[in-house]
Amino acid sequence: MHRPARMRATGKPLSQNPKSVYRRIWYARRRAALIALLGNCCASCGETEFLQFDHADTRDWDVRGVHSTKRLRIYAEEIRAGKIQLLCISCNSSKQDATETEVPF
Ligand SMILES: [Zn+2]
């Protein structure tokens, strides 16, 4: 499962902090894969952009402060357990229990 720690040069100038850039790309890809698992659209209105993970039980669900790698692993487990649905940002924020269930990276 391990990927190389560094990305290969793509011709673009290296960022000042390539590690952090790599991590962001990795996170975005993994996150996109999880979103695809959930059908790529908002469970409520069908919106396909600005999607967020919405957990069925927000009381047990707080990933703030959790490292991004671990956070994605938690998402994957919860998705398999059927506890997460996709909501677009507007559906998610209009919910009564407007607890933020996903922290932007
Ligand atoms: Zn929606």
Maximum mean pLDDT: which of 6-10, 65-69, 85-89, 96-100: 85-89
pTM for the whole thing? 0.68
Distance between terminal CA atoms of the chain?
Answer: 22
Please state, for a pLDDT cut of 70, what percent of the chain lies above it. 71
Round the average pLDDT of the chain to a whole number and report it: 81
Look-up of token digits 């994957």: 76
Is residue 38 a contact partner of residue 79, using CB atoms and an 8 Å limit?
yes
Q: State the distance from the centre of ligand 1 to the C-alpha of 49, rounded, in angstroms.
A: 9
Tokens at 73, concatenated: 């692993």
Report residue 100's pLDDT band, with 50, 70 and 90 as the boundaries. low
Q: State the distance from the centre of ligand 1 to the C-alpha of 87, rounded, in angstroms.
A: 5
DSSP 9-67: P-SSPPPS-HHHHHHHHHHHHHHHHHHHHTTSS-TTT---SSEEEEES-GGG---TTS-
Q: State the distance from the centre of ligand 1 to the C-alpha of 9, rounded, in angstroms.
A: 38
Q: State the distance from the centre of ligand 1 to the C-alpha of 92, rounded, in angstroms.
A: 7
